[in-house]
Amino acid sequence: MAKFDIREIKGVIPAMITPFNQDEELDEKKTRDLVEFLINKKVNGLYIGGSTGEGFLMDIDERKKLTEIVCNQVNGRIPVIVHVGNIGTKMSIDIAKHAHENGADAISSVPPFYWRFDNESIFNYYKDISESTPLPMIVYNVPLAGLMGLDMIYKLAEIENVKGIKYTATNHFEIRLIKAQLGEDFMVYSGSDEMAISGLLHHSDGLIGSFYSMLPDLFIKIYESMENKEIESAKDYQLMAVDIIMTSLKYDYYAAIKLGLSWMGLDVGSVRRPFKALTDAQKEQYKNDLLEIKGKYDFTCDLLEAIN
């Protein structure tokens, strides 16, 4: 059973990477260790099985197993949002029902992709999934799957269990428009890591992003600084985060995130092909780039503190 109401799901929520072993198989111990690491860093929730979690490279049984492991390890301490998205509605419903049965607090999904589905098909996709469980649905508006306009977002919000949106577009003034149109209880999560401050300034309820797996402490500082109206501090932390993100984006950044975690003492394995692990030369260059960033600031973060 869900432990948290959707209105309680706020703050810094990592879109969690998925640990695999050297044979590219889901690694239960590494996954449990990562969950504990993030909870100990005081994150406010977990978003699992999405694109950052390499969910579309996993089969249905693997995605279900990931949900079981994470929900069991979390054990109600923080909210868990399970990404159930797939091209096919039937498969997404299967994952959604399983998430509900295993104690997830919310589900989320990208719109159906690859084929150019029209708005009616997209609406029915979300309606069918949302009606399959009592869990709140968080719609995922992301460029990779095709951004939806405000009219479509407002239409989806008419579905009873659609209670929020993960908003990864960069025109953040629309966050305020969504809140004004749909009310404060419709949750909006800013999904652009590089623009966390902007999302919060435009009244997002929280942050869901890839780099929070590797930089939880830095984004918690951003969030808390914004909560305390310490804008200059938040700006400084955001600038460091952007520097680290842009350096990581030179590579398959899921691999860079996993490498960064390994430098922090957490073995989360590598990525699944066709994503590429960093070569030894790339690892050295990445480390040197991060050391250069470290030298720019009079404060640090756990990742930069861990490398030398």
Q: Catalogue the active-site residues.
A: 140, 166
Distances (CA, A) of 124 to 37, 88, 90, 297: 38, 12, 12, 49
Residue 220's Cβ-side half-sphere holds a number of Cα atoms within 13 Å equal to 17
d(CA 43, CA 52): 17
d(CA 200, CA 173): 11
Q: Which residues, 6 or more positions from 143, have their beta carbon under 8 angstroms from its beta carbon? A: 168, 169
Distances (CA, A) of 261 to 19, 124, 218, 296: 11, 39, 14, 22
The burial class, CB within 10 Å (0-12 / 13-18 / 19+), for 302 is middle
The burial class, CB within 10 Å (0-12 / 13-18 / 19+), for 38 is buried
* CB distance 191 to 166 below 8 Å: yes
The residue whose two tokens read 């992301």 is 142
* CB distance 299 to 236 below 8 Å: yes
Q: What is the DSSP letter of 24?
A: S
